Amino acid sequence: MTNERSEGTPLAAVVRDLSRTARSGLCVSVVMGAALASAADSADFESFYASKVSLPTIRDLAPTADIVGRGRSLGVDEAIAMAIGNNLAVAVERFGPLIAEAEASAAMGVYDPTLRADFRHEIEKTPLTSALAFAAATRDRTNGGGIGIEQEIPLIGATVSARYEARSLLTRLPTEQLSPRYDSSFFLTGRIPLLRGLVWNENWTNVKLRDIQSDAARDTFSLEAMDIVRETADAYWSLVAARDRVRVVQKSLETSRALAELARNRLAAGVASRLSVVEAEAGVAEREFDVITAANAYRRAQDVLVARILGRGLSAETQALITPEYDPLAFEMRTPDLSRAVEIAFRERPELAQARRRIEESEVELKLAQNQLLPQFDVEASFGYVGISGDPNPGGANLDFINVPGFTDPFIVIDADGAPPLQTGGFTSSDNRFFNRSGSENYSVRGVFSIPFPNTTARKRAVSRKLEFQRAKTNLAWREQEVVLEVRDAVRNLMASAMGIEAAERRRLMVEEQLRSERDRLEHGESTPFDVLQRESDLVDAESKKIAAVQTYRSAEIGLERAQGTILDFYDVVLDESGE
């Protein structure tokens, strides 16, 4: 944003001496959490308290009545800072970014590794059902458990796990060579989707959506702050205009009273008619009405601004008086560039940012829906070691027939020395079998394929998400069109109000000269107090129009900054969402 000054034009020369905000560069920090509360607690509310509530009374019509008496000095930047710090709407919206950020972090929590453990104790009795001579009823006791860790990999949707299991078996089964027997195993397992669920799965989609929603919450917070800034600035400059209006009508009242006194003196001297006195008194009554009206408008403007800046600190008993402070020489006439203003608005407006984020959300949801149209095809692979050890079973049967020449059991693996690969000992011996790479290696690879027919839910959801995506893009185009219209209107208002200031100033100068001439004629007996009052009324009207023109320009300037989305930068407002 740039403010351009046109030094050589008559318009700039006219308005160069008019008032403008003395932007002191105050940096407003809207601090989230406890810091905001402490800022409100530290607000010097007592400095706003007046000893007496200013209410309209007959004393407003007294000569030099102190209608706009001196109160708490306040610049526009400070007013905005207090309004943001004490506004409950901002206090509510400030939680939005913090909540959204916490939700975004929570969405990533699905990728935290999970530690799982289990334990079991079983006793199983089996009745005798075999005709073999050595067969008998059995009673098995199993103790064991396992522990492992599992984690899902972000983005691709794969899962990996590592698990260790161990168990001891105490049995009376005659065919079992070891009792107690100790089994242990350690496996690494991985599973990855190759079609449905690859990248655009539920968990990763939720992470992406939460990130987008976190940014959207900041935009909502900025929007609320922008509206508060605009309302406060408008209220501030309305108070300035109301104050200047009171001073103008008070001066006019004093002038009309002086003219009425002059008319009465001339009547007493016999050089004026009774009608001239009546006309002068009517002029006084009219200006007293103007003073009453202007004083009431001024006090109402005071209430509006006080309500803005005190926010939750305002109560029914609050008595406040504010004196606006600004540098009359800080006024700069601006010549906005419409094309650049629209370009800035497209970049800075939070409403457009929100519309773009809705497109992002719709696109993410569409990709998930399209991914769900694919069949499921997952591949799972595992590798691990299994170890066995134990003590000889005292109740085991004699299986010497295994060593009969020519007998071969395909389910028994014989070591190089001809003995079955069994090892005595407890879990330590069992674990050594695979930790020393002397255990039984196990490999597995399997695929899982599935697809629903006719997959109605996924197909209809994909159609719905595609329509949502198209609607979001159309909504952005609509919002951009609205922004273009708003910026065009704001630029036009600013230019028109600048020309209005020039016209109002020229009229004021001409009317002021007419009043001066009419007073000279009155001194030479060529005019009447009524004619002077008419000219003086014209001057009051011209000065009022000039005050209104300046207020309109300031409101148009604020409107342009809001339309561009740069109003926070214009008033040096910094929003801090850290919550510290």
Any domain includes 111: no
| Shared-domain flag, residues 145 and 279 | no
Q: Which of 436, 456, 476 is the last residue of a domain?
A: 456
| Shared-domain flag, residues 99 and 125 | no
Element (H or E) spanning 307, and its range? Answer: helix 274-310
Q: Are 189 and 160 in contact (CB under 8 A)?
A: yes
| Count of the separate structural domains present in the chain | 2
| Shared-domain flag, residues 422 and 360 | no
Which residues fall within 8 angstroms of residue 269, CB to CB, at 6 or more apart? none
DSSP annotation string for 166-201: EEEEE---TT-SEEEEEEEEEEEEEEEESSTTSSS-
Q: Which of 456, 490, 524 is the last residue of a domain?
A: 456
| Shared-domain flag, residues 249 and 362 | yes
DSSP class of residue 564 equals: H
| Shared-domain flag, residues 218 and 198 | no
Q: Are 433 and 440 in contact (CB under 8 A)?
A: yes
| Shared-domain flag, residues 80 and 142 | no
| Shared-domain flag, residues 308 and 386 | no
| Shared-domain flag, residues 430 and 550 | no
| Shared-domain flag, residues 346 and 490 | yes
What CATH number did the domain enclosing 240 receive? 1.20.1600.10
Neighbours of 572 (CB within 10 A): 15
pTM: 0.74
**HSE-up of 290 (CA within 13 Å, CB side)?**
21
Any domain includes 151: yes
Which residues fall within 8 angstroms of residue 61, CB to CB, at 6 or more apart? 253, 288, 291, 292
| Shared-domain flag, residues 545 and 472 | yes
Question: Which domain does 390 fall in, by range?
Answer: 116-205+377-456
Any domain includes 372: no
Which residues fall within 8 angstroms of residue 246, CB to CB, at 6 or more apart? 67, 68, 291, 294, 295, 298
Reading the chain (580 residues) residue by residue, the pLDDT tens digits are 344 333 333 333 333 333 333 333 333 333 333 333 333 333 444 444 333 334 455 688 888 888 888 888 888 999 999 898 888 888 888 899 999 999 999 999 999 999 999 999 998 877 655 555 455 567 788 999 999 999 999 989 999 999 999 998 888 777 777 878 888 889 999 999 999 999 999 999 999 999 999 999 999 999 999 999 999 999 999 999 999 999 999 999 998 898 888 888 888 888 778 888 888 889 899 999 999 999 999 999 998 998 888 877 777 767 678 888 876 556 677 888 999 999 999 999 999 999 999 999 999 999 999 999 999 999 999 998 888 887 877 766 555 544 445 544 444 444 444 444 555 666 777 776 665 655 678 899 999 999 888 889 999 999 999 999 999 999 999 999 999 999 999 999 999 999 999 999 999 999 999 999 988 988 888 888 888 888 988 999 999 999 999 999 999 999 999 999 999 999 988 877 554 4
Any domain includes 110: no
Any domain includes 1: no
Any domain includes 77: yes
| Shared-domain flag, residues 570 and 495 | yes
Q: Which of 456, 487, 503 is the last residue of a domain?
A: 456
Q: What is the dihedral of CA 404, 408, 409, 414, to 10 degrees?
A: 90
| Shared-domain flag, residues 444 and 464 | no
Any domain includes 353: yes
**What is the phi/psi pair of residue 531, to 5°?**
-65, -40
